Structure 1
Amino acid sequence: MPPRRDLTCTRRGLGWCAMSKVALVQPIGEPGVRMLREAGHDVVAFDNPLSASELKDTLKSTPDVEGMIVKNAAINREVIESAPRLKVIARHGVGLDRIDLTAAAENGVVVTHTPEANCISVAEHALTLILALSRNLITWDRAVRDSDFEVRKSQPGRELSGKTLGILGMGKSGRTLAQMALHGLRMRVVAYTPHPDPAKCPGVKLIPDWREVLGIADYVSLHMPLTPETEGLIGRTELELMQPGAFLINCSRGQIVKEKELIEVLMAGRIGGAGLDVFEEEPPQEGNPLLQMENVILTPHGAAHTHEALERMAEQAARSVIDVLSGLPPTWPAPLPPPAP
């Protein structure tokens, strides 16, 4: 019997596509699963969550896996080398800090991600945190539930129109947030990016020194990947460059901010507050002072978790697997790791 016909491959002139086994290390949306099956692939779902050690053992017992889709699982060298037929790892999301890109490259494994899938959701989430902080939304909600209707007089909010938003990292989510703030709220937007391209950032004032952004902005939103260069980038010294009363928003990675020093700066009243979707340790442990702070809004690393973004991530991850297993270059390849010194 010939292998199941892959309609996508046929449209691209590839004729018949051999079936490959694709492992879902963590569950993905049904549209992505359906795409893989319609392309003729055998989809297997692993137990969730798996540690790197458990995943390595599972792959050793499933040696014919050629494609893998992961969310936030740690994919280290041992995991990669435990799957001898592996050709592609598709990240269901944007950040690549939990995948060993060097080991993948050395073993001939293509790594992809979905940078265009969740930029709207992440930008909207950052904006939600900005709005909630500026209008004391959580505090007002609690006060009304406690029959304190006069909180509006003791804790008035702030308008965003005319205020300055500083963005560190002008990838897709940063650029999307900038346009929302410029055109939706009439804010001034200043930003830092290591690869400035004014054509991609209309209306945004690009600043060559990211520390200067901290001193200008009423709201600072982080949109940079976690790399050796950005880990621990924002600590007490940097936070104290911010204007008194300014707010920090982090929807990127918790390890970019030195959390203990952020807590100290918040407790000292040096900045106005923070909106945090990510943490150094996730979930934050009981007793973490952030959990008790009235001027901090916390969300569960869910900025990208909307129905629409999850569907797009599933589809784009599946599309990448199908393309690589069909011999096509992926649309969203991960950046190649830097060469060894």
Structure 2
Amino acid sequence: MSYKVLITEDIDKEGKDYLKKFGYEIKIAENIREETLIKEVKDCDAILVRMALITAKIMEAGIKLKVISKFGVGVDNIDVKEATKRGIRVTNSPESNKNTVAEYTMGLIISLAKKLFLYDRELRKGNFNIRENLSMDLEGKVLGIIGAGSIGKLVATKASKGFGMKVIEFKRNINELEESEYIEITDDLEYVFKHSDFISLHVPLTESTKNLIGEREFSLMKPEAFLINTARGEVVNNNALVEALLNNKIAGAAIDVYEGEVPSEDNPIFKLENVIVTPHTAAHTEEAMKRMSLHPAIGIQEILSGKDVSWPVN
């Protein structure tokens, strides 16, 4: 039986070649506006989605729709509750970019600790004496990890085993066997913020994590501590972050994600010199892009062929 897959935004050829190998017909969406996807999904059995919003109206129009598969990890752009109600399976690709994001996170932590961006900027101005503004060692410093999933655990491993950092993982359900010489597990969020030199966020965007980090959390942090966000922009209250940075309540931040995905040009975060900003690129390596294209294609094939699903969401 021939199936048709709607790809909302183009992907690497690995994913498309995989689908074609099984005889799937591929349709690339003209754009990601809801009205466009409503028209284009009508004869499709599956959607492979990157950042497009997959709404109830799109699912309603997809009269043949059986599976929605996510390029990447976060499924906050998919109405999973509606999909479940309609019997539409949702899959994602949690194994595709976890090491890539973990490496990027460590790069941001190193850049903050070693003041790489400050040194680069000032030396280009002729300020050789900026070297007197001393950086810090990571060994012995405390890294607080909010979100001890696959990426958070990899960051913990790299930080503790690679750099000799002490790690505190925030986790709601604690298994004491998970603790080690370098890694402490706690269900006390306040404790993490009070005792960490770096806080790294790795939680998905849900109703419970939206604005999880705000004025109160920043007030608990050490004035010499840093925040790193490679999770989702909406997890952090942007106004509270700006206020904390402007008033030196924290030493700095590294931000890869923003509310609404694409940040507004007048976002005050861009005017601050104690912040590293990057355009949601933590997972954007050549290798990860290939995996993120292939893995959702695998999810589609598994569901439509009746096999066990490697990365189920619902």
List runs of 5+ in structure 2 lacking aligned partners: none
CA–CA distance in structure 1, aligned partners of residues 20 and 173 of structure 2: 39
Q: Give CA-to-partner distance per residue, 1:230-251, whole Å, 9 cap, x none.
A: 1011111111101111000000
Kept in 2, the 8 Å contact 1:220–1:248? The answer is: yes
- Give the residue type in structure 1 aligned to 2:304: L
Q: Give CA-to-partner distance per residue, 1:57-115, whole Å, 9 cap, x none.
A: 332xxx22001100111011001111100111000011111111111111111000011
Question: Is 1:30 aligned with 2:8?
Answer: no
CA–CA distance in structure 1, aligned partners of residues 91 and 141 of structure 2: 37
Question: Is 1:87 aligned with 2:66?
Answer: yes
The aligned residue for residue 131 of structure 1 is 110
CA–CA distance in structure 2, aligned partners of residues 55 and 85 of structure 1: 14
CA drift of 1:200 comes to 5.1
The aligned residue for residue 75 of structure 2 is 96
CA–CA distance in structure 2, aligned partners of residues 323 and 312 of structure 1: 16
CA–CA distance in structure 1, aligned partners of residues 186 and 178 of structure 2: 14
Question: Is 1:204 aligned with 2:186?
Answer: no
Question: Is 1:118 aligned with 2:97?
Answer: yes
Kept in 2, the 8 Å contact 1:23–1:68? The answer is: yes
Kept in 2, the 8 Å contact 1:191–1:210? The answer is: no
The aligned residue for residue 188 of structure 1 is 166
- Give the residue type in structure 2 aligned to 1:214: F
- Give the residue type in structure 2 aligned to 1:29: D
List runs of 5+ in structure 1 lacking aligned partners: 1-17, 337-341
Kept in 2, the 8 Å contact 1:166–1:213? The answer is: yes
Tell me which of 133, 143, 149 is aligned to 1:171. 149
Tell me which of 193, 215, 225 is aligned to 1:246. 225
The aligned residue for residue 283 of structure 2 is 304
CA drift of 1:199 comes to 4.6
- Give the residue type in structure 1 aligned to 2:194: G
**RMSD across aligned C-alpha pairs, in angstroms?**
1.3
Kept in 2, the 8 Å contact 1:175–1:201? The answer is: no
Question: Is 1:70 aligned with 2:46?
Answer: no
Kept in 1, the 8 Å contact 2:193–2:220? The answer is: yes
Evaluate the alpha carbon distance shift between residue 104 and residue 192 of structure 1 in structure 2; reply closer, same or farther with a 3 A threshold. same
Q: How does 1:279-318 map to 2 (within 5 A)?
A: 279-318=258-297
Kept in 1, the 8 Å contact 2:196–2:225? The answer is: yes
CA–CA distance in structure 1, aligned partners of residues 93 and 179 of structure 2: 21
Tell me which of 53, 58, 61 is aligned to 2:35. 53
CA–CA distance in structure 1, aligned partners of residues 131 and 30 of structure 2: 49
Which shows bigger deviation, 192-201 or 159-168? Answer: 192-201
Question: Is 1:20 aligned with 2:3?
Answer: yes
Number of residue pairs matched by the alignment: 313
Aligned to 1:240, the other structure's residue is in SS state helix
Aligned to 2:227, the other structure's residue is in SS state strand
Larger Rg computed on CA atoms: 1
Evaluate the alpha carbon distance shift between residue 128 and residue 77 of structure 1 in structure 2; reply closer, same or farther with a 3 A threshold. same
The aligned residue for residue 235 of structure 1 is 214
Q: TM-score, normalised by structure 2?
A: 0.97
Aligned to 1:130, the other structure's residue is in SS state helix
CA–CA distance in structure 2, aligned partners of residues 282 and 92 of structure 1: 15
Aligned to 1:158, the other structure's residue is in SS state coil
Kept in 2, the 8 Å contact 1:278–1:301? The answer is: yes
- Give the residue type in structure 2 aligned to 1:32: G
Aligned to 1:22, the other structure's residue is in SS state strand
The aligned residue for residue 332 of structure 1 is 311
CA–CA distance in structure 2, aligned partners of residues 56 and 47 of structure 1: 12
- Give the residue type in structure 2 aligned to 1:246: A
Evaluate the alpha carbon distance shift between residue 200 and residue 42 of structure 1 in structure 2; reply closer, same or farther with a 3 A threshold. farther
Question: Is 1:214 aligned with 2:197?
Answer: no
CA–CA distance in structure 2, aligned partners of residues 186 and 20 of structure 1: 51
- Give the residue type in structure 2 aligned to 1:162: G
- Give the residue type in structure 2 aligned to 1:310: M
Question: Is 1:266 aligned with 2:249?
Answer: no
Question: Is 1:40 aligned with 2:23?
Answer: yes
CA–CA distance in structure 2, aligned partners of residues 58 and 268 of structure 1: 50
Q: Which runs of 4+ in 1 moved over 3 A?
A: 197-203
Kept in 1, the 8 Å contact 2:102–2:151? The answer is: yes
CA–CA distance in structure 1, aligned partners of residues 235 and 277 of structure 2: 16
CA–CA distance in structure 2, aligned partners of residues 57 and 43 of structure 1: 15
Kept in 1, the 8 Å contact 2:30–2:36? The answer is: no
Aligned to 2:45, the other structure's residue is in SS state strand
